[in-house]
A and B are shown apart, each in its own frame.
Chain A
Amino acid sequence: MFVTKDRKLSTGSLIILIASTLLGVGILTGPRSITAAVDGFGGWIAVLLTGLLFILIAYAAAYLINMFPGENIILFGPAIVTKPINNTICFLYLLYFIISTALYSRNVADVMKLYVLDTTPTTVIIGSFLLVSTYTAVQGINVLIRLNMLLFPIIFGMLGIILVLNAGGEFNFTEARPFFVGDFLTYLNGMKSSLDIFIGIGIIYFLSVFLRTPEKTGYALSTGIIIVTLINMIIIVISLGVFNFASVQNIVYPTVELAKDIQLPGAFLERTESLFMTIWVLAIFNVVSVTQYTVSLGISQLFNRKRKLWVVWPLPIYFLIALAPRNIDEFFYWRSILSYVGFSFLLAIPLVYILIAKIRKVA
């Protein structure tokens, strides 16, 4: 059985890990999909509400994790819902992680090909990206945390620069208003589209073995979620003001266009989007390597195999899934389906497990 003695994830590093895992995901398409979902304004409220919802979920997950400090779902699950059921759930959840990770790498390839690497084949971009992230994931949790802490300020800073320069430049306050519009139904619609920003926090069910201070998990998760919520809210409002409510819905990657729009006097900084793309790839790289690691950890625990090898073996699966969507429309369809699947896991696991644990008086 898999047991770890050293608990390496401190509260601070968990915050960074969660924030940088969530940051890269919805950032490019969020303004478009969420604005389209709420049909204009109030997208930021939808994101805020989703953030609050996920803070609740995070606390539920933390409660479950706290019942069994130092273990993760694969270790404490069998005590609650018998081993076969638990292993099936975990396996399906890991499968979900594999598919979503593969789609992130596809996203990288699509965006890079569109904006920067015009003639490089998609397969090469996906392949090299996955090779690098696999290399990192093999190294283990310590390296991942180190890397996340290293890259997070860069990603955060770049986003900050883009937002500040846009807010000071093209941003038109009238276009961004009114702020409070819409009823609960429209917000609900917007929340559906903003789910995929946050569903990455599911990794905590597996990574909880490493927590140094399990009692602070809820706090750490919600801090990470708050950071990401704020950034996404600001991006939505700024892209509304720079474009307008109708135009944002027509731009596939509004955030990249925000980066492209920056022009400092004297042509001092041109082609900012290549800089932005590079840094965004770093953000997705964080996401992909962390989830790859989580998958390998889960598989090694489930089947009692060597973890390092199981980072590498699923590589062809990632690669093939990444190439599966025929076009960008299909890709977005897959992503939206996956966001519901991920959300169901995220919501169901703490509810069901805590309930059954209470009834059966485990722990």
Chain B
Amino acid sequence: MRACLYKTGIPCLIAVLLLSGCWDLQEIEERGLVIGLALDLTDEEVDPENMETYEEWKKKGEPDRVRLTGQVAVPTQQGGNGQSETESQPYFNMSTVSHSVFDALRLFSTRSSRTFTLDHIKLVAVSDNIAASDHFNEGLLDFFLRDHQMRRRMLFFVTEGEASQLLELEGQFNEIPAMKIEAVSENYSRSNRIPHPFAIGTLSDEIAKETSFIIRKIKVTKDKDIKVAGALLFDGKFSKLAGELGEQETIAYNLIVGEHQNGIITAPDKQGHIAAFEIFSADSKIKPTIKRDNISFDIHISATGHLGETQYPGGNPLTSKYIKEVEEVMKKEIETEVNKVTEKLQKEFKLDPFNLLDEIRVKNYKMYEKVRRNWDQGEKIFSDVPIRFHIDTKIERIGISGKPEQKEG
């Protein structure tokens, strides 16, 4: 009996001591799930006590400080089991000011009883003045890429004006703003006016690669709602905001890079009636031609879709002749738009967000090594490269009204 006690009892006790303690234990109720972060530059005072350090920083030529706004989901209140008397928001926002983003994040802990977890961040937004400043390149975003809790899949936005507005939306469904923005940005498959979702991992990839890139633009409207449309163009070398593309230009951009998912192109037909062509699937093939030192590109864009609307007075002459005509019109329309945006990027911005350089790299690595430093930086070879477009449009369906010309039988 006694031997049994020694043999099993003591090891059990030791095991209890060793196994029960867990350094990394955190109760779920005590956690604050940060789901969105917004970063602004600010000139607010930090804290009266911190004034000295602020002055010291100022002497170092570092007057700007960041304001970090975090959106924290409240898990216990989200379920809402019968606690109708507390009709409180399922989230709260808090905002801190510091020199470093990390410090600002830790300052959250000085204002809340919760321990903050960053595993569930859905989006990171920065204001456009951060994006346009050198701070963007100098590493205000470094923290988001360095911290191990951050996921590369977090969506990244650049907002017009203060980024913190983004977390103060008042939606129709009393949603958590961060969640709402995530849901809205998933709608890109229904609209061609926004570029593909841009995750923070992609951002770090692009910055490392020093290529120009495009981020979708997000705007907070006056009634505290959002609109996602258009795109912001970033300079690859300095990775800072260089310009923006309008909605039509974004459509063209999407078509060129083959990111076009679903969207509508509207143009008048030959008689001047408005027709709307819904693109179901678009594909693009970029073919570089390299002859000695001459680089040129052929970009084949094929768009397939259906005729969604024709504002044709007095019946719809949806004959195959008319369909051909509309196809032709749409082809012209796409061609002009695509050429316009390419012209703008080549001549005005002299930046290559199409990543045409990648195609050169795949095709001819020697040439790539020769031009990579002077592509859309340095000598700007990109702005003089001939780019030819070959567009193919196809209307497969015409909806449920209209009479086909060919008589049956």
Chain A: residues with CB nearer than 8 A to chain B? Answer: 41, 114-121, 124, 174-175, 177-178, 181, 243-247, 249-250, 257, 260-261, 263, 271
* Chain A residues within 8 Å of B358, by CB: 174-175
Selected contact of B152 from candidates A116, A175, A244, A260, CB within 8 Å: A260
Instruction: Return the chain A residue nearest B209 by Cβ.
Output: A246
Q: How far is the CA of A18 from the CA of B82 in the complex (A)?
A: 60
A178 and B362 in contact, given A247-B209, A250-B208 (Cβ under 8 angstroms): yes
Could you say which of A119, A174, A257 contacts B24, with CB atoms under 8 Å apart? A119
Look across to chain A and name the residue whose beta carbon is closest to the beta carbon of B203.
A247
The one of B119, B151, B201, B209 that contacts A245, using a Cβ cutoff of 8 Å: B209
Instruction: Name A's interface SS.
Output: loop
Decide yes or no whether B153 CB sits under 8 A from chain A.
yes
In angstroms, Cα B359 to Cα A249, docked, is: 21
Contact count band on B: 10 to 19
| Interface check B23, CB cutoff 8 A | yes
Question: Contact: B119 with A271, CB < 8 Å?
Answer: yes
Q: Closest residue to B119 on the A side, CB-wise?
A: A271
Given A245-B209, A246-B209, A257-B152 in contact, is the A120-B119 Cβ separation under 8 Å? no
Shortest CB-to-CB span from A191 to chain B, Å, is 20
Contacts of B355 in A (CB 8 A): 174
Inter-subunit contact B204/A178 (CB<8 Å): no
Contact among A41, A247, A260, A263 with B204 in the assembled complex (CB-CB below 8 Å): A247
How many angstroms from the CA of A249 to the CA of B362 in the assembled complex?
A: 19
Given A117-B23, A117-B24, A174-B358, are A261 and B153 also a contact pair (CB < 8 Å)? yes
Within the complex, the shortest CB–CB distance from B148 to chain A, in Å, comes to 5
B210 touching A261, Cβ below 8 Å: no
Contacts A118-B24, A119-B24, A120-B24; is A260 near B151 (CB within 8 Å)? yes
B204–A261 contact, CB under 8 A?
Answer: no
- Which residue of chain B has the shortest Cβ distance to A262 in the bound complex? B153
Give chain B residues whose Cβ lies under 8 Å from the Cβ of A247: 204-205, 208-209
- Our pick among B148, B204, B361 for the contact of A115 (Cβ within 8 Å) is B148
Q: Are A244 and B362 within 8 A (Cβ)?
A: no
Q: Tell yes or no: B322 within 8 A of A by CB.
A: no
Closest B residue to A267 using CB positions: B120
- Whether the pair B23, A121 counts as a contact (CB closer than 8 A) is yes
Contacts of A243 in B (CB 8 A): 201, 205
Please give, as numbers and ranges, the residues of chain B lying within 8 Å of A244 by CB-CB distance: 205, 208-209
B362's partner among A117, A174, A271 (CB-CB below 8 A) is: A174
Nearest chain B CB to A166 CB, angstrom units:
12
Known: A114-B148, A263-B153. A246 touches B119 (CB 8 A): no
**CB proximity of A162 to chain B, nearest CB, Å:** 14
Bound together, the chains give a CA A246 to CA B358 distance in angstroms of 12
Chain B's closest residue to A253 (CB) is B148
* A132 → chain B closest CB, angstroms: 12
Cβ distance A7 to chain B, nearest Cβ, rounded Å: 35
Chain A residues within an 8 Å CB radius of B201: 243, 257, 261
Asked if B365 lies at the interface with its beta carbon under 8 angstroms from chain A, I say yes
Q: Which of B131-155 contact A (CB under 8 A)?
A: 148, 151-153
A244 to B204, CA, bound (A): 10
